[in-house]
Amino acid sequence: MLKRLRRRIWSKGKINTQEEIDPDEIFLDSSNLPSFNTYQFEGRIEKPIERSTFFFAGVIFLVVGIIFTGRLWILQINQGEAFEVRSENNRLSHTTIFADRGLILDRNKVVLAGNSLNPLGDFAKRSYIDSPGFSHVVGYVKYPSQDKFGIYYEKEFVPQDGVEEYYNTELLGANGLKITETDALGEIQSESLLTPPVDGENLTLSIDSRVQSKFYELIESTAIERGFSGGAGVIMNVLNGEVLALTSYPEYSANVMTDGTDVAAINGFLNAKSNPFLNRAVSGLYIPGSIVKPFIATGVLTEGVVDPSKQILSTGSITVPNPYDPTKKTIFKDWKAHGWVDLRGAISVSSNVYFFSVGGGYDGQKGIGISNIEKYMRMFGFGDISNIDLAGEGKGNVPSPAWKAENFEDDDWRIGDTYNSSIGQYGFQVTPIQVVRGIAALANGGTLLAPSLLANNPLPVRNAERLPINPSHLEIVREGMRQSVTDGTAKGLSMPGISVAAKTGTAELGVSKQDVNSWVTGFFPYENPKYAFAVIMERGDVHNQIGATFVMRQLFEWMYVETPEHVK
């Protein structure tokens, strides 16, 4: 505390007396009052706040007030209704109720694709028959996708292959919708089913799962044991187009692909050089070799270039002048010397010389020529899709001068090209489903059907095409195919209890011709045809004697015991 001071001040010889002096009038500093704590502002004189500071603060408060007022107007007036709806939606949530996909059944009601319980999910899991050989026919699906918050941004199963893909509209069904009301704490107050789910339609296929599974097993074991890179087989009803079996080796696992959790297995399928995702029965394109000879023979008979009983001598080859060097000869070889053969015998023993002669013409025998070869092959469905109810079908190719001009610049069509085309070696590419469809037309008297995997499907018969071919000519061709089983190249299919007509083929591959495709095709029973078949064993060693015929022989023996209704 400061005491009042009374002191005298001398000024110009006068004494002035000051009664009181305020502390503010005394200038203090740290030197005269060292006990003040300057860091706490003791002993300092405070400076008044300037008016400009109040002005700027007022401006800031005004601007903030304007902003808040404007925002309040936007929320309450301009967008009030939208936010009211959003607030209501926060209280009412929509939940998708997933429909079950329809079942896929075989002709005997065996479940090929079904639904299993999924206690941890919102939809039933898709499960497939636990047996090899069905993946390419049935296909697989991907489940609906959701984000990290569990919200489904994809609300349908996504089909990837096979019947699952082709008939997705029928199998899909329609999802339902449920509304759930919650309070501010997230507690469910009520639930209401707005739209019930509608399950997908069940589909019954014409496939016999027993035959399908055994067919695959035989193709797989033969490929592994004999060094083929793959294979495929098809059996089709010649009267209505229904497919009894269609299988392709190798294949992927439909269960693994649908589940999607076994990354190593999935990558193994994706990176496999053998391409297990290729449906060889429908999409695989192959050189046919001698299995085209029954179709060429039909054209030969229809065009009348040779009497079916006329015999042509096969000494093992024919020789024609070389177009580039007249002093040299070009030799076209038969696979052996067959001697004198007529048309039926040429089909039976698969004589190349006979078909060189009636296809391209040789030694006084007129041929039908490449234009007619193309005409009749296309007539039986080659070079076009069969319209089977599976995606990704290959069209293949039928060779012709126009095709060669388009693909081989400055290379004219020559007689040698016609010769090779007449035995299925030059420019041909076919699928097994095309082959079985063409053979079915030979067997049923000239009706070209569209293959179908759906049981009791009326479309193949309704849309059937009647070929302009004399039935008696087809009968001659069928007799040659039956003779092939009794005395010719398809003798491996001669067995008691089943009468089969068939044609084999060995298509040479590459320049070295060290690899071949092994074919067998035909129909049964011979007397009253019911089914046509085709088997391809892909890229095996040329010296291997076991191939497609071996597979079909084993299948017939098994069917005779296990599924006699199909072979008798």
| 147 and 220 both lie in a single domain | no
Confidence (pLDDT) at 39: 45
The larger pLDDT score, comparing residue 533 to residue 544, is at 533
Tens digits of per-residue pLDDT, 514-531?
889 999 999 999 999 999
Tens digits of per-residue pLDDT, 437-467?
999 999 999 999 999 999 998 888 888 999 9
What integer is the mean pLDDT of 407-412? 85
Tens digits of per-residue pLDDT, 89-105?
556 667 788 899 999 99
Q: How confident is the model at residue 73 (pLDDT cuts 50, 70, 90)?
A: low
| 199 and 346 both lie in a single domain | no
Question: What percentage of the chain exceeds 90 in pLDDT?
Answer: 68
Residue 463 in any domain: the answer is: yes
Residue 55 in any domain: the answer is: no
| 442 and 494 both lie in a single domain | yes
Check whether 75 has a pLDDT greater than 90: no
- φ/ψ of 498, rounded to 5, equals -130, 125
Check whether 29 has a pLDDT greater than 60: no
CATH number at residue 327: 3.40.710.10
| 436 and 503 both lie in a single domain | yes
Residue with tokens 């002709």: 107
Tens digits of per-residue pLDDT, 359-395?
999 999 999 999 999 999 999 999 999 999 999 999 9
Confidence (pLDDT) at 513: 75
Cβ neighbours around 78 below 10 Å, total: 10
AA letter at 315: T
| 217 and 305 both lie in a single domain | yes
Check whether 351 has a pLDDT greater than 90: yes
Q: How confident is the model at residue 510 (pLDDT cuts 50, 70, 90)?
A: confident
| 380 and 512 both lie in a single domain | yes
Confidence (pLDDT) at 6: 42
| 197 and 218 both lie in a single domain | no
> What are the CA-CA distances from residue 380 to residues 13, 87, 295, 450 (Å)?
146, 67, 8, 11
| 446 and 533 both lie in a single domain | yes
| 143 and 126 both lie in a single domain | yes
Residue 3 in any domain: the answer is: no
Nearest to 113 by CA among 96, 99, 130, 98: 130
Residue 82 in any domain: the answer is: no
Residue 342's contacts (CB-CB under 8 Å, 6 or more residues apart) are 308, 309, 310, 311, 312
SS3 for 236? strand
Residue 326 in any domain: the answer is: yes
Report the alpha-carbon distance of residue 201 to residue 101 in Å, rounded.
Answer: 7
Check whether 178 has a pLDDT greater than 90: no
CA atoms within 13 A on the CB side of 33: 12
Residue 60 in any domain: the answer is: no
Confidence (pLDDT) at 192: 64
Structure tokens at 428: 């041909």
| 309 and 365 both lie in a single domain | yes
The residue from 170, 204, 238 where one domain ends is 204
| 184 and 238 both lie in a single domain | no
Number of domains in the chain: 2
Q: How confident is the model at residue 261 (pLDDT cuts 50, 70, 90)?
A: very high
What integer is the mean pLDDT of 37-45? 48
The whole domain housing 434 covers 209-566
Per-residue burial over 143-181, b if 16 or more Cβ lie within 10 Å, else e, is bbeeeeeeebeeebbebbbbbbbbbbeebbbebbebeee
The answer to whether 173 and 200 have CB atoms below 8 angstroms apart is yes
Check whether 343 has a pLDDT greater than 60: yes
Tens digits of per-residue pLDDT, 486-503?
999 999 999 999 999 999
What are residue 141's DSSP bridge partners? 159
The residue from 139, 170, 204 where one domain ends is 204
Check whether 126 has a pLDDT greater than 70: yes
Residue 69's contacts (CB-CB under 8 Å, 6 or more residues apart) are none
The residue from 204, 238, 253 where one domain ends is 204
| 158 and 222 both lie in a single domain | no
The dihedral built from the CA positions of residue 345, 348, 349 and 350, taken in this order, carries a sign that is positive
Q: How confident is the model at residue 164 (pLDDT cuts 50, 70, 90)?
A: very high
Model pTM score: 0.82
